[in-house]
């Protein structure tokens, strides 16, 4: 990526993540782009399963002890999909941005956030594919991740090429081929 997602991140994180509309009395908290919850619309709450730890030149996914048993068997995979939360980017204003110039480059066409990897979006879920270096106890050491130290991890899934990587008819927009 030409411009890192980190360039857009500011502010402080929170423990639990609310997706969707804010509850009554929480008008200052992020919610839907228009600030209104549609009748019957579901609201989800997520709790981190761990956090990113970056120190001493190493990148670790430190999983909470109560979720450590869920790591069993992960050492048999070469890569892991890490779903994490853009916690330092979570504002109502940034959740309302629906179109950007990809990679922050104004030479790229204005594009919907669902058609690019912008860190501003209605729900600030991020995904990084990481190479697993080791799994020990409640810690997964990976080669790198484009998240800050202390970033909340929402979920881990093993990377399975036959499922995750299309093998035919891959199409990319012109701006991404540069």
Confidence of residue 5 (pLDDT cuts 50, 70, 90): very low
Domain membership flag for residue 172: no
Domain membership flag for residue 67: yes
Domain membership flag for residue 175: no
Prediction pTM value: 0.78
Domain membership flag for residue 171: no
Q: How far apart are CA 141 and CA 164, in angstroms?
A: 21
Query: CATH number of the domain that 20 lies in?
Result: 2.40.30.70
Give the domain range for residue 122. Answer: 5-33+45-161
Confidence of residue 84 (pLDDT cuts 50, 70, 90): very high
Question: Domains in the chain: how many in total?
Answer: 1
- Work out the average pLDDT over 35-50: 84
CA 5, distance to chain mean position in Å, is 10
Domain membership flag for residue 75: yes
The string of pLDDT tens digits covering residues 93-126 is: 999 999 999 989 999 999 999 999 898 999 999 9
Higher pLDDT: 37 or 3? It is: 37
Q: In this structure, are residues 64 and 153 in contact, taking their beta carbons and an 8 Å threshold?
A: no
SS3 of the chain: helix, strand, coil, percent, to 5 = 20, 30, 50
Domain membership flag for residue 38: no
Backbone angles phi, psi at 125, to 5 degrees: -85, 130
Q: How far apart are CA 120 and CA 171, in angstroms?
A: 24
């Amino acid at each position: 990526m030409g411009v890192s997602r980190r360039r857009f991140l500011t502010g402080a994180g929170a423990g639990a993540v609310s997706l969707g509309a804010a509850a009554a009395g929480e008008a200052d908290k992020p919610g839907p782009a228009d600030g209104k919850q549609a009748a019957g619309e579901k609201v989800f709450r997520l709790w981190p399963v761990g956090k990113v730890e970056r120190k001493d030149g190493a990148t670790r996914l430190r999983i909470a002890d109560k979720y450590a048993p869920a790591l069993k068997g992960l050492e048999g995979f070469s890569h892991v999909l890490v779903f994490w939360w853009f916690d330092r980017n979570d504002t109502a204003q940034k959740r309302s941005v629906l179109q950007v110039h990809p990679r922050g480059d104004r030479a790229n066409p204005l594009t919907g956030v669902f058609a690019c990897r912008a860190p501003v979006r209605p729900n600030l879920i991020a995904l990084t594919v990481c190479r697993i270096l080791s799994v020990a106890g409640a810690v997964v050491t990976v080669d790198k991740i484009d998240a800050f130290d202390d970033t909340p991890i929402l979920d881990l899934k093993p990377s399975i090429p036959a499922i995750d990587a299309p093998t035919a008819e891959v199409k990319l927009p012109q701006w991404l081929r540069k």
